[in-house]
Amino acid sequence: MNPPAAGRSRLVVVKIGTSSLTDPSGAIVPAAIDKLCEEVAALRAAGDRVVVVSSGAIAAGLTVLDMHEPRSSNPAVLQALSAVGQVHLVGHYNRALASHGLVGGQVLLAPLDFVNRQQYLHARQTLSVLLELGVVPVVNENDAVADDEIRFGDNDRLAALVSHLLQADVLVLLTDTAGLLTGDPRAVEEASLIEEVVEVDHELESVAGGAGTDRGSGGMASKLAAAKIAAWSGVRTVIASAARPGVLADAAAGVPGVGTVVVARQKRLAARKLWIAFALGASGTVVVDEGARQALTERGVSLLPAGVVSVTGDFDVDDAVEVAGPDGRVFAKGLVRHDASVLEKLAGRRTAELPEDVPHEVIHRDDLVLLP
């Protein structure tokens, strides 16, 4: 998606992570929220609309409850901390936005809001009306009641899905580095900024490395994963430093060198297929023969048992699985209609040979996504 024409209002989704909002002890730094809100206000004054996706609820909860021990891994404790911290986090945002004459509105989202069509439309309507009313939506995952089995995992992905939901012009992922670097600056002294990414591939993902700090759930790898989602949504992504002066306006305007720009693709995936492709982890792999591979890639049909060669993994009905060709190369992903044990028995059998009481598709075409 190209930058909007001069004079047209832009829609900017900005995500800021816990590491950019907290000090080394894990306490929320109000000045960091003040800086972001000042930049949001500058964009609003220029006529743009802005949605903020903010982490930091758990960190705020730790501060409020005066808990200084390392971050807990107990889901129940984390949910309780989020419930306490979310109130205080949004309070920080409301005070900072109010100082610029703006009003914030809390929106808590769950993965099913993007999978279920009716919930998807409700979420889009709510955010759209807030923007029409001049409100700055402050979005977070609904951590306090989230099912640990079905969750975003990090707010980078959530921000990318919100960008898709609202057909944003740009997604800005703020972090504590200048962007994606050619190496870890702590280990590679000459590491430099990668200013533009046309396609997020495996080589680039290996450069991104693993998780971020122990104060957050993401890292550069999660930002690249989010940028890939945004790219397939037709949204340009900028990964940049939260500490950079004027970072939000520069990123929205496409100023060179502001950070790492991930170019948007021309083709835009539907929300459900976007979720299947990039937000759900694969529970196994289904290997198909060459005839099935060609039928799936060239004719857009459903995958039938006759084309299945082998099955790996222990997956259940409606789990996401990867689909690989005879060479082992993964070319698609989808929601499977048989569990692994049943599919192993059905592999290679023609439709006329299948029992009447079992689905005849392994993966229906509506649940299948071709991958780059």
pTM over 0.85: no
Calculate ∠ Cα 180-33-255, nearest 5°: 40
pLDDT digits (tens, 9 = 90+) for 40-85: 999 999 999 999 999 999 888 988 888 866 566 788 888 888 899 9
Q: How far apart are CA 363 and CA 277, in angstroms?
A: 14
Domains of the chain (ranges plus CATH)?
Answer: 11-273 (3.40.1160.10), 280-370 (2.30.130.10)
Instruction: Report, in angstroms and rounded to the nearest whole number, the Rg of the chain calculated over CA atoms.
Output: 22
3-state secondary structure of 52: strand
pLDDT digits (tens, 9 = 90+) for 267-278: 778 777 887 887
Give the per-residue pLDDT at 149. 45
Across the range 30-43, mean pLDDT stands at 97
Dihedral of alpha carbons 92, 94, 95, 97, sign? positive
3-state secondary structure of 163: helix
pLDDT digits (tens, 9 = 90+) for 279-337: 677 899 999 999 999 999 999 999 999 999 999 999 999 999 999 999 999 999 999 99
